[in-house]
Amino acid sequence: MRTIVEAARSMLAGKNMHKIYWAEAANTAVFIINRTGTSSVENKTPFELWFNKSCDPKSLNAVFGSDVWVYIPKQLRKKWDMKSKKGIFVGFGENTKRYKIHSPDTDKVTLERDVIFVPEKEGEQYIEYGKSDPSPTQIEEMDNTAQEQTEVQDDELDQEDDPPK
């Protein structure tokens, strides 16, 4: 129990989150410990022993308190509505491949499947879950597009600085 409380406290402090999220942090700590913790059986996690299957290692990339973008299905939006909304990752769904996401707009926690995790540091890649992972070619194309957009913006700014002739 102490391990769970310490892990949850660290998660909350690491993201400067209010202690009202203690239950979500504790559940996330249990999820991670069960999938990474040691057991008395060598090379097996408690999850593998209990369910007789291995866990998806991709799910452990999610960092408690991270900013995410949640896809809004076509059926729930109008033509000019945004295709995604911002949220905060606060845990993993039980017996499902969905994430618990806190919506600052509604102040509610919902289970979501199609989620993109915002990189923590500059230079890191966005991590997208729910849909098929992008191929290395798609990632390179996204990087090239972003670079081209930045260059165009820089050129436009340079032109604005030029004195009129």
Cα 128 to Cα 77: distance, rounded to the nearest angstrom: 21
- The pTM score is 0.64
**Lowest-pLDDT choice from 36-40, 81-85, 93-97, 100-104:** 36-40
pLDDT above 90 covers what percent of the chain? 24
Within 8 A by CB and 6+ apart from 101, the residues are 68, 70, 87, 88, 89, 90, 109, 110, 111, 112, 115
Residue 144 has pLDDT above 70, yes or no: no
Please give the share of the chain, as a percent, with pLDDT higher than 70. Answer: 63
The predicted model gives 112-130 an average pLDDT of 73
* Tokens describing residue 38: 């040691």
Res 63 pLDDT > 70? yes
Report the 3 state secondary structure along 63-94: CCCCEEEEECCHHHCCCCCCCEEEEEEEEECC
Average pLDDT over residues 70-91: 92
Place 97 in a pLDDT band, splitting at 50, 70 and 90.
confident
- The reported pLDDT for the residue numbered 119 is 80
For the chain, give every domain's residue range.
Answer: 2-117
- The least confident of 71-75, 90-94, 132-136 is 132-136
One-letter amino acid at 147 equals: Q
Between CA 48 and CA 56 the distance in angstroms is 11
pLDDT above 60: residue 134: no
Give the pLDDT confidence of 23-40 residue by residue, as tens digits: 999 998 888 877 776 656
pLDDT at 111 exceeding the cut of 50: yes
Q: Where are the alpha helices (DSSP H) in 37-71?
A: 46-51
